Chains A and B, each alone.
Chain A
Amino acid sequence: AQSVAQPEDQVNVAEGNPLTVKCTYSVSGNPYLFWYVQYPNRGLQFLLKYITGDNLVKGSYGFEAEFNKSQTSFHLKKPSALVSDSALYFCAVGYSGAGSYQLTFGKGTKLSVIP
């Protein structure tokens, strides 16, 4: 079985400051890791993914995430937060093998960027 934990329900950060949204995972085999963002009254949008290769992954809107195998973490980061980054962020995990198309999502972290 695979699982994802997002330990913070909400993260508040001042505009211009760096932001981090945390995610840890549990999976048998090699993980596929993803971040999605959801704006109010919208569906989820893909931000970035880690499948293999470089542990630092760059994605849309200036976001990046670092895969850390020893800590089983995949934290989302951005050097300078914008008010428009305020949204709900979901971490998701799949695994390389049968069922790799099926993702397990975390409960989400609400990011609020304060002007």
Chain B
Amino acid sequence: DAGVIQSPRHEVTEMGQEVTLRCKPISGHDYLFWYRQTMMRGLELLIYFNNNVPIDDSGMPEDRFSAKMPNASFSTLKIQPSEPRDSAVYFCASTWEPGTQYFGPGTRLLVL
């Protein structure tokens, strides 16, 4: 099993640009989570899906952030327009059972 796959691994962009992060969960997992990790705020849950339906998006910081899961094998997190304070590592995780989440390697985003 390839595990959770995220792309790109690194992204450098300029303020105001649109950024799209991608995630492929482990096959058979029906829950998918998006997290953001920074030194200041630690690991924050942004949104999670069950069977492709968003369950809780209360962690999405602003309307500039949006997430979709068009099918069971693909999800995107989009930031439009991006700002320097969005610089962080973004993780995707998936699971089929309570609590034991399987994390991807993360996307390191730098907004200049």
Cβ contacts B87-112/A at 8 Å (1 or 0 each): 00001010100111111111000000
Chain A residues within 8 Å of B48, by CB:
101-102
Instruction: Give the complex CA separation of A44 and B103 in angstroms.
Output: 6
In the assembled complex, 8 residue pairs joining A and B whose CB atoms fall closer than 8 Å, in A order, are: A32-B98, A32-B99, A41-B106, A43-B103, A49-B99, A101-B31, A101-B95, A108-B43
Instruction: Give the complex CA separation of A104 and B101 in angstroms.
Output: 12
Instruction: Give the complex CA separation of A32 and B98 in angstroms.
Output: 8
> Does residue A92 face the partner (Cβ distance < 8 Å to B)?
yes
> Does residue B50 face the partner (Cβ distance < 8 Å to A)?
yes
Chain A residues within 8 Å of B42, by CB:
105-108
- Asked whether A43 lies within 8 Å of B91 as measured between CB atoms, the reply is yes
> Does residue A100 face the partner (Cβ distance < 8 Å to B)?
yes
Q: How far is the CB of B87 from chain A (nearest CB, A)?
A: 16
CB-CB under 8 A for A43 and B99, given A101-B31, A102-B45, A105-B43 = no
Interface residues on A, range: 20 to 34
Q: How far is the CB of B59 from chain A (nearest CB, A)?
A: 10
| CB nearest to A107 among chain B residues | B42
Interface residues, chain A, CB within 8 Å of chain B?
32, 34, 36, 41-46, 49, 51, 90, 92, 94, 99-108
Chain A residues within 8 Å of B106, by CB:
41-43
Interface residues, chain B, CB within 8 Å of chain A?
4, 31, 42-43, 45, 48, 50, 56, 91, 93, 95, 98-106
Instruction: Give the complex CA separation of A95 and B48 in angstroms.
Output: 16
- Asked whether A43 lies within 8 Å of B50 as measured between CB atoms, the reply is no
Chain B residues within 8 Å of A92, by CB:
99
Instruction: Give the complex CA separation of A92 and B50 in angstroms.
Output: 20
B93, B95, B103, B105, most chain A CB atoms within 10 A: B103
CB-CB under 8 A for A100 and B98, given A42-B105, A43-B106, A44-B103 = yes
- Asked whether B99 lies within 8 Å of A94 as measured between CB atoms, the reply is yes
Beyond contacts A44-B101, A103-B45: 12 other A-B pairs, Cβ-Cβ < 8 A, are A36-B103, A41-B105, A43-B4, A44-B91, A44-B93, A44-B103, A90-B43, A94-B98, A100-B98, A101-B31, A101-B95, A105-B43
